């Protein structure tokens, strides 16, 4: 018991030391810098509440705030969670007022809902549009259309006639269906057997939402939504697979989400979701090498290059790491600098530190939230 207490105390101190200085944190707070999501929360002495770095509420004066490494720490210091930015929920969590609608859509992806239908459900259409535009990059109606087209694509690809898929999807004319299909998918319905659609969805984690993409063969994309290279990765993936990305459902998403939640809870060390990894032979060799780095351990870029038989290709290995489109499962976060420093992670070095701490058994933000 005494030993465990000492370990917890040391881990707690490590968390405190890992915070940047107060001026850096306050500058991030003023700028609403999303890169600091997951690094700290801020307690406001004058109100007794604590917030995310990106909270839209009016910013307090420097002398009226204190910073904490976790929501759990803020709660222990007597602060209440902000009702505006809900710091106890993972970033990107759907608000309570929207969850019944999302559940309804998940259960009936072919549903058609107009503004009047939303109002009868007690929802303001403009508020729904704003949320979907912010979190999915499209309006609510565009999102529903994408779901219907994705469902139709799967049916046509598996042998159903175009006309049947069109009318079953609620379209009154074949031409209207074909026009909308091409506008959404980028190709005509009759090309469905030669082309692919990458179904995409968002998966919430303690480090912010991930964008997941899948074809019938497996997961082909798993990236943090704020990664700068995400748009480039989507374009490359579309070209490699001769496919278009469309919001939708996949038989692989439930398993992926479940295994990720187990991973962040410290209950899973390996993943067995099917993956689809188009790339050059060298890239695929590098990515396969990454999966041999054991949970809780790390390698330098030089060690990684040597492990795959390309000792003189350190830079090429590092570049291939950067082109990895499957975060966490293909663990490029386990590759560090030769001097032990954290370098080169597209999701942000703070996320890399979190993942390595999680895997090494150190106390993390997720553990503290569960304890709270």
Tens of each residue's pLDDT in the chain, 372 residues: 233 322 223 233 333 335 778 888 999 899 888 777 777 899 999 988 999 898 888 889 999 999 988 777 787 787 888 888 888 776 666 778 888 998 888 788 778 899 999 999 999 999 898 888 877 777 888 888 877 777 777 777 766 677 777 666 667 667 777 777 777 767 777 766 667 888 888 888 878 789 999 998 999 999 988 888 888 888 899 899 988 888 877 889 989 999 999 998 889 999 999 999 999 999 999 999 999 999 999 999 999 999 999 999 999 999 999 999 999 999 999 999 988 888 888 888 888 888 998 898 864 444 444 343
Question: pLDDT of 109-148, one tens digit each?
Answer: 778 899 999 999 999 999 898 888 877 777 888 888 877 7
Stated as kind and residue range, the H or E segment containing 223 is strand 218-224
Alpha-carbon distance of 5 to 11, in angstroms, equals: 10
342, 353 contact by CB (below 8 A) = yes
HEC-encoded secondary structure of 50-94: EECCCCCCCCCCHHHEEEECCHHHHHHCCCEECCCCCCCCCCCCC
CATH 1.10.10.60 boundaries in the chain: 91-194
Model confidence pTM above 0.75: no
**Hey, what CATH topology would domain 274-371 get?**
Arc Repressor Mutant, subunit A (1.10.10)
Half-sphere exposure of 144 (CA within 13 A, CB side): 19
Alpha-carbon distance of 73 to 191, in angstroms, equals: 55
Annotation marks residue 332 as catalytic:
yes
Domain spanning 2-81: CATH superfamily: DNA Methylphosphotriester Repair Domain (3.40.10.10)
CATH 3.40.10.10 boundaries in the chain: 2-81
**Residue 281 three-state SS:** helix
Alpha-carbon distance of 257 to 253, in angstroms, equals: 6
So what's the architecture of 91-194 in CATH? Orthogonal Bundle (1.10)
| Active-site choice (51, 85, 220, 245) | 51
**Residue 42 three-state SS:** strand
Alpha-carbon distance of 204 to 93, in angstroms, equals: 7
CATH 1.10.10.10 boundaries in the chain: 274-371
CATH 3.30.160.70 boundaries in the chain: 195-273
| Active-site choice (82, 220, 245, 332) | 332
What local confidence, expressed as pLDDT, does residue 285 receive?
Answer: 96
Q: Which of these CATH numbers, 3.30.160.70, 3.30.70.340, 1.10.10.10, 3.40.50.1820, describes 195-273?
A: 3.30.160.70
In 237-248, which positions are buried (b, 16+ CB within 10 angstroms) versus exposed (e)? bbeebebbbbbb
What local confidence, expressed as pLDDT, does residue 315 receive?
Answer: 93
């Amino acid at each position: 018991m005494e030993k465990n207490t000492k370990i917890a105390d040391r881990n707690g101190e490590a968390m405190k030391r890992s915070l940047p200085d107060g001026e850096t944190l306050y500058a991030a707070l003023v700028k609403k810098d999303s890169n600091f999501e997951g690094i700290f929360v801020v307690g406001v002495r004058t109100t007794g509440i604590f917030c995310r770095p990106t909270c839209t509420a009016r910013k307090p004066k420097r002398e009226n705030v204190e910073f904490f490494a976790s929501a759990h720490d803020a709660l222990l210091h007597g602060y209440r969670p902000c009702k505006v930015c809900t710091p106890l929920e993972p970033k990107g969590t759907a608000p309570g007022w929207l969850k019944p609608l999302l559940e309804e859509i998940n259960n009936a992806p072919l549903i058609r809902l107009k503004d009047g239908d939303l109002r009868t459900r007690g929802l303001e259409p403009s508020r729904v549009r704003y949320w979907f535009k912010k979190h999915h990059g499209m309006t609510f109606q565009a999102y529903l259309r994408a779901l219907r087209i994705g469902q139709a694509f799967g049916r046509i690809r598996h042998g159903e006639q175009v006309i049947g898929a069109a009318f079953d999807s609620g379209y009154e004319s074949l031409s209207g269906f074909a026009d909308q299909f091409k506008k959404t998918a980028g190709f005509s319905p009759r090309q469905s057997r030669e082309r692919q659609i990458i179904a995409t969805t968002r998966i919430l984690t303690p480090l912010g939402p991930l964008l997941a993409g899948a074809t019938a063969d497996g997961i082909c994309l798993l990236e943090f939504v704020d990664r700068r290279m995400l748009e480039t990765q989507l374009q490359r993936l579309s070209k490699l697979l001769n496919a278009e990305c469309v919001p939708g459902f996949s038989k692989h998403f439930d398993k992926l989400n479940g295994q990720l939640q187990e991973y962040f809870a410290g209950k899973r060390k390996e993943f067995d979701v099917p993956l689809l990894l188009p790339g050059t032979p060298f890239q695929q060799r590098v990515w396969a090498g990454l999966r041999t780095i054991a949970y809780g351990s790390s390698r330098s870029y030089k060690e990684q290059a040597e492990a795959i038989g390309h000792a003189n290709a350190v830079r090429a290995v590092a570049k291939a790491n950067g082109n990895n489109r499957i975060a966490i499962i293909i663990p490029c976060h386990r590759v560090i600098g030769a001097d032990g420093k954290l370098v080169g992670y597209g999701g942000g070095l703070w996320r890399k530190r979190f993942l390595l701490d999680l895997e090494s058994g150190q106390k993390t933000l997720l553990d503290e939230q569960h304890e709270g």
